[in-house]
Amino acid sequence: MRKGTKLFLELIALLCSAVIAVPLYFIIVNSFKTKAEAADLSLKLPTDWNIIENYRNVFESAQIPMAFWNSLVITFFSVLFIIVFCSMSAFVIQRRDSKLTRIITQILVVGLILPGSIITTYYVMDFLNLVRTYAGVILLFIAGNYALMTYLYISFLQGIPKELDEAAIIDGSGKYRLFFRIIFPLLLPVNASVLILAAMTVWNDFLTPFYFLNTADRYTLSLAIYLFFGQKSADWNLVFSVIVIVSMPVILLYMFMQRFIIAGMTSGAVKS
Amino acid sequence: MLKKQYYSYSLLVPGMLIFTVFFLVPALMSFYFAFTNWDASFTVTRHVGFDNFKTLFENEENVLAFKNTFIFAAVTSFFKVFLGLLLAILANQMIKSRLILRSVLFFPVILSSVAVALAFNAIFHPGKGLLNTALRSVGLDSLAMSWLTDPSIVIYSVAFVEIWKFTGMSMVLFLAALQSVPQDVIEAGKIDGASPLKMFRYVTLPMLKPVLNTNIILSVIGGLKVFDLVYALTGGGPGNSSSVINTLVYKSFATGRNGEGTAANLVLFLIVLITVLLLNKIINRNTSR
Amino acid sequence: MKRSKMKKSLMLLTVFAMVFALAACGGKDNDTGNDGAVNGSGEEAVTIKAIGHTTWFIQGMEAVMVEAKKQGFNLEIEKVPDGSDGENLMKTRFATNDKPDLLFYQSAITQSAGFGNPEEVFVAQDDQPWMQNFDKVAWKNLMDSDDNLQDDVESHWYGAPYGGANTGMVLYNKKLFAELKLEIPTNMDEFWAVSEKIKSAGKTPVFLSGKDAWTVQLPVLMSNATQETADLIAKINVNQAKVTDLEDSKTGMKFLQELMSKGMVNDDVLSATYDEAQKALSEGEAGMYLMATWVMNEIVTKYPEGVNDIGAFIMPYKGEGKDLAALWQPWSMYVVKGPKQDAVQEFVNWFEQPEIQDIFFSNQGGIPAIKGVTKTKLTPAEVDAKKFLDAGQGLGNVPYPPLYNYNVNLPTLSQELIIKGGKTPEQVLEAQQKELETAAKAKGDPNFK
């Protein structure tokens, strides 16, 4: 690449980043201000840094530590099962061309489109005695994300050549070994994407815990935040502090996972 | 036939089981109620045939909601896919700022809709909001608008926020696919002296096709089914000016007209289904050519 | 081959073990949640599970709870958010038979409220001892439940009053009025003259919090507090009159539009929130705000320094003292039928005693509906409001119970009145009439065939 083009591209990249970054900076900087100063909604640095008071206020009134733990447990198990179950399903659906798999593919597309229904879901959950349980909410998150995530795995699996399976089978792999030892590791980039997507969906969703987990000691972070907004919407500084607190874990997760997404594992596998 | 047993259906069972019991069955079950006078107490006293659908389309406000939904889906899908692809290519170049681009663009995807909506309510504030303040400070007073309260532009403002939030998502999907373009093919192309444009047209683009299709379909579905962001940003208002099908559904349920709500849900489902089937057809025709 | 088979069964086992382990620990949690009913043999040990909106349980109830604990009542309140999300949650619980023992909700619940048929779900309060301290005549049509609305059938009382009554009025900043030497307007001409003066002093005459749609409907609801409207609603119920005949409603709607066209409102009306209104009014940046007195509870906690500057007068739509203050009845507590209903009723009877009401109202504003309450904590605005009520100058904001709630979309429709290219008052009333007809037809009402 020529130096001029490169510089030009660098500039464009920075500009695009800035468009995205300004609102983010706006949230963060205003979470540091006093109530009066934050009310101006400006980008200026605070004249009066109010960080500790704001965050302590939020932590206490929104019961953050407990909600944080609840969110963590629910998100961890939901995402774990989503990754395992969806990749397993996608593998069979993509590799095997039978009447059943074709029907299932259609069902998945329908599942992507189908609007969820809270009331009838509540009937089912009540029937199975799962209302107000962690297990129930986790199962709902798996079910709710299943179609989309399986779909993502399928489209990614199309890029992994079947010859690989054949080679593994000739090497004497059984079917579970084939999937978990050979294919699953190749899915790392898409696993990373699914992980981050599922984690953020589950983490940010408040309607599911709202309807199905609504007991005071099981509030998730998103739910605690939602309730907090209902009460203190006028204090912008606190509102923005809350946003920072609830978003931070997923942002950290993304920064950690990023290199796996970018690793580009498939090409290496094909070569060998 | 040796192959079949290696792709055993048993791998499908746990996922499909949970999906069927906890999503598919309840969702399909609800459609029955679209043909009843399901009321606020969730009791059914009468089957009303297609009455719910009739009231749905008789109401001019509802027609606006349908129109808005299509505008929103079209505008956001186009920009999300197009900008996402451009940015993925940019982020795949050997430039220094690519890492910044990759991280920063994905941050909004991670934020909850409620958080984003709060921030943009502040940014779009007509009087003291960041956007209008900036426009005025560079002398573009005439461009400073009531972004979220002018009925004629509000749906586009909401669409902008959706694009702002989700372009990073489509970028990452493209990027993952770009990364999986085999290095030896690229190297071979370079040795052959193919121009970057040609490389893109004949090597990269075909490899991107599956992800491109996925991206288009997911964006369209997401656009037609949008709820969170509209609800949190404007609540469908002012008045009904930014209402979409899903805020309509929400309002029906909130006002105790559950039969009408499920009817609207069913219509939305059919609209998305038909759109996806059509899109699939177009895409498949193009690929087979 | 053998190995792979073993692996397969192991795998499947693990998956199912995981699913069942999850399901099992779920089940256990659920059981422990219900143990109140199991140990409920001794009266003292009964846990009363209540549900209600978060903002309903503030200083007054907190103080009562302390006393309740001493008396051996074990009340567990589940607080759900205000607004339709929270309401839906409560209705879902009732629809799936996952009911609380005590429900805190709006008064005058009917079948269309979404909790089932009140007769089957709630314990009637008609003959409970607390009724002796309650004026049935004054609260008729506001707090009783009458699904048929036939005059020959006695209605029933299911809700016991919770919290105070409120009135919708013009809340005004007394300090600003004094500074500008303004008198309380007694007719619309005076009202606009006052507004003009406030405007020329550089302040906002009337604050309109257009972003929170529900607040925009208040001027319309206030105009509804007339006997004429009450008579019309009775006719509308049987399809002998139409919503479009509600002239008083139209007055309120026209007023909203005039406010806008005359420029007597704040900047950026549609971005302004309920919160900002409270701030502007209490700081004297705005002269008037048309709102119900419940806003004073919020101003007390958020802008306490301005509380004493705020007074209240009746919106002079008709003038010459003919106007009435729009009344909002207190909320209600409903005893849910079930194994614990006796214990819950005991709590309600205890709560409605004047001595306990004293505890409630000495900690929080609101006008009590139970007679014999001696201790109250009213802000100056509420004192003004109470004077009108005591003089009999009050009527329900919906002065007669409508069979079908044509007001469900009034918040958005009111917004439509003030946006660019929105609706005219006539169009809004037509939309409401259509709303009513749809609801009636869905029910299969013979009058609307």
The answer on pLDDT for A241 being more than 50 is yes
**Cα–Cα distance measured from residue C208 to residue A45, given in angstroms and rounded to the nearest whole number:** 32
To the nearest whole angstrom, how far is the Cα of A2 from the nearest Cα of chain C?
A: 50
Residue C95 at interface with chain B, using a CB cutoff of 8 Å: yes
What is the sign, positive or negative, of the torsion defined by CA atoms of B61, B67, B71, B72? positive
pLDDT at A234: 63
Structure confidence at residue B196 as a pLDDT band (50, 70, 90): confident
Q: Tokens 């090409």 sit at which residue?
A: A267
Whole-number Å distance between alpha carbons of C377 and A147: 57
Claim to verify: residue C191 and residue C258 sit in the same structural domain: yes
Structure confidence at residue C6 (pLDDT): 47
User: Total structural domains in chain C?
Assistant: 2
Q: Distance (Å) from the C-alpha of residue A48 to the closest C-alpha of chain B?
A: 20
In CATH terms, the superfamily for domain B37-287 is MetI-like (1.10.3720.10)
CA distance C117 to B228: 33
pLDDT digits (tens, 9 = 90+) for C289-330: 999 999 998 888 888 999 999 999 999 999 988 999 999 999
Region A101-130: mean pLDDT is 89
Nearest CB to C54: which of A128, A132, A227?
Answer: A227
Measured distance between the N- and C-terminal CA atoms of chain C, rounded to whole angstroms: 73
Q: Which of A57, A56, A48 is nearest to A29 (CA)?
A: A48
Average pLDDT over residues C148-174: 84
Q: Which domain holds residue A131?
A: 64-268
Q: C-alpha C151: how far from its chain's center?
A: 26
Q: Report d(CA C147, CA B39) in Å as an integer.
A: 15
Q: Do C253 and C213 belong to one domain?
A: yes
E strand or H helix that includes residue C171: strand C166-173
Residues in C closer than 8 angstroms to A230, CB to CB, are: 54-55, 81-83
Q: What is the pLDDT of residues C73-108, one digit of tens each?
A: 999 998 887 777 788 888 888 888 889 999 999 998
Closest Cα partner for C266 from C219, C220, C205, C310? Answer: C205
Q: Most distant CA pair in chain A: distance in Å?
A: 71
Task: For C248-257, write each residue's pLDDT tens digit.
Answer: 999 999 999 9
Q: Do B22 and A140 touch (CB under 8 A)?
A: yes
C64 half-sphere exposure, CB direction, 13 A CA radius = 26
Could you tell me if residue A53 is inside a domain?
A: no
Residue of C153 and C212 predicted with greater confidence = C212
For chain C, positions 372-431, list CB contacts with chain B under 8 A: 408-409, 412-413, 415-416, 418-423, 431
Q: pTM value?
A: 0.85
> In this structure, is residue A44 part of a structural domain?
no
Residues C185 and C248 in one domain: yes
Rounded to 10 deg, the angle between the B205-224 and A134-157 helix axes is 150
Structure tokens at C336: 């849910």
Ramachandran angles phi, psi of C171, nearest 5°: -90, 130
Distance from first CA to last CA of chain A, Å, rounded?
A: 30
**Token pair in block for residue A102:** 């074709």
Indicate if the pLDDT at residue C10 is higher than 50: no
Give the count of domains, chain A: 1
Distance from C-alpha of A51 to C-alpha of A32, rounded to nearest angstrom:
5
In the predicted model, is pLDDT for residue C26 greater than 50? no
CB contact under 8 A, B151 and C422: yes
Structure tokens at C141: 């049509």
CB contact under 8 A, A134 and C25: yes
pLDDT confidence tier of residue A215, bands split at 50, 70 and 90:
low
CATH of the domain at C57: 3.40.190.10
Residue A17 inside a domain? The answer is no
Distance between C421 CA and the closest CA of chain B, angstroms:
8
**What is the C-alpha to C-alpha distance for residues A18 and C245, in angstroms, rounded to an integer?**
57
Question: How confident is the prediction for chain C on average, in pLDDT?
Answer: 86
* pLDDT exceeds cutoff 70 at C171: yes
Task: Please give the average per-residue pLDDT across B74-90, as a whole number.
Answer: 94
pLDDT in tens, C264-300: 999 989 989 888 899 999 999 999 999 999 999 888 8
Task: Mark C132-153 as b/e (b = at least 16 C-beta within 10 Å).
Answer: ebbeeebbebbbbbbbebeeee
How high is the pLDDT of residue B4?
66
Q: Which of B96, B114, B166, B249 to mutate to test the interface with A (most CBs of A within 10 A)?
A: B114
Reported as a pLDDT band with limits 50, 70 and 90, residue C392 is confident
B154 close contact with C: CB closer than 8 A = no
Is the CB of residue A241 less than 8 Å from the CB of residue A132? no
Bridge partners, residue C269, by sequence: none
C443 in reach of chain B (CB within 8 A): yes
* Rounded distance between C-alpha atoms, residue C385 and residue B157, angstroms: 43
pLDDT higher than threshold 60 for residue A271: no
Q: How far is B45 from chain A (nearest CA, A)?
A: 17
Please tell me if residue B63 touches chain C, with a CB cutoff of 8 Å: no
Contact call for B239 and C442, based on CB within 8 A: no
**Cβ–Cβ < 8 Å for C369, C387:** no
- Kindly indicate the confidence band of residue A1, based on its pLDDT and cuts at 50, 70 and 90: low
Nearest residue of B to residue A144 by CA position? B23
A177 with C78: Cβ contact below 8 A = no
- Looking at the structure, do residues C45 and C98 belong to the same domain, yes or no? yes
Distance CA C416, CA C420 (A): 8
Neighbours of B20 (CB within 10 A): 15
Rg (C-alpha) for chain A, rounded Å, is 23
Q: Which of C20, C22, C82 to mutate to test the interface with A (most CBs of A within 10 A)?
A: C22
* Partner-chain contact A176 C276, CB within 8 Å: no
Name the band, by pLDDT with cuts 50, 70 and 90, for residue C221.
very high
**pLDDT at res. C24:** 42
What span, in angstroms and rounded, lies between the C-alpha atoms of A70 and A247? 15
DSSP structure class, residue C444: T
Confidence at residue A142, expressed as pLDDT on a 0 to 100 scale? 97
Q: Is there a single domain that holds both residue C184 and residue C273? A: yes
- C444 lies in some domain: yes
Residue bearing tokens 């208040």 = C218
Mutation target vs B (from C110, C415, C434, C443; most B CBs, 10 A cutoff): C415
User: And the tokens for A40?
Assistant: 């101006």
Q: Kindly give, in sequence order, each residue whose CB lies less than 8 Å from that of residue B183, ignoring residues fewer than 6 positions away.
A: A267, A271
**Cross-chain Cβ contact B42/C268 below 8 Å:** no
Query: Looking at the structure, do residues C255 and C151 belong to the same domain, yes or no?
Result: no
Q: Which positions ≥6 away from B286 have C-beta within 8 Å? A: none
The average pLDDT across B195-199 equals 80
Q: Please give the structure tokens belonging to residue C161.
A: 């009053």
- Asked whether the beta carbons of C397 and C225 are under 8 A apart, the reply is yes
Q: How confident is the model at residue A164 (pLDDT cuts 50, 70, 90)?
A: confident
Give residues 250 to 309 of C whose Cβ lies within 8 Å of A: 273, 275-276, 279, 302
The whole-number pLDDT of residue C150 equals 56
CA distance A86 to chain C (A): 13
Q: Is residue A19 part of a domain?
A: no
Provide the percentage of residues in chain C whose pLDDT is more than 90.
59
Q: What is the helix (H) or strand (E) element at residue B188, kind and residue range?
A: helix B183-192
Chains that touch C (3 or more CB pairs under 8 A): A, B
Q: Where are the alpha helices (DSSP H) in C286-340?
A: 295-302
Decide if C95 contacts C121 (C-beta within 8 A): no
DSSP secondary structure letters along C46-73: PEEEEEEEGGGSSHHHHHHHHHHHHTT-
Mean pLDDT of chain A: 83
Q: For C279, name the nearest residue in chain A, comparing CA atoms only.
A: A234
Distance of CA A243 to the CA centre of its chain: 16
Cis peptide before C399 (omega within 30 of 0): no
Mean of pLDDT over chain B: 87
Binary contact (A234, C275; C-beta < 8 A) = yes
CB neighbours of residue A45 within 10 Å: 9
pLDDT, mean of residues C405-431: 93
B213 lies within 8 A of chain C by CB: no
The pLDDT assigned to C28 comes to: 39
Give me the domain span that covers residue C288. 166-327+398-448
Compare C154 and A223 and report the one with higher pLDDT.
Answer: A223
> Which amino acid appears at position B252 of this protein?
S
**CA quadruple C15, C20, C26, C28: dihedral positive or negative?**
negative
pLDDT in tens, B6-51: 788 888 999 999 999 999 999 998 899 889 888 777 777 788 888 8
Q: Which residues pair with C102 in a beta bridge?
A: C50, C335
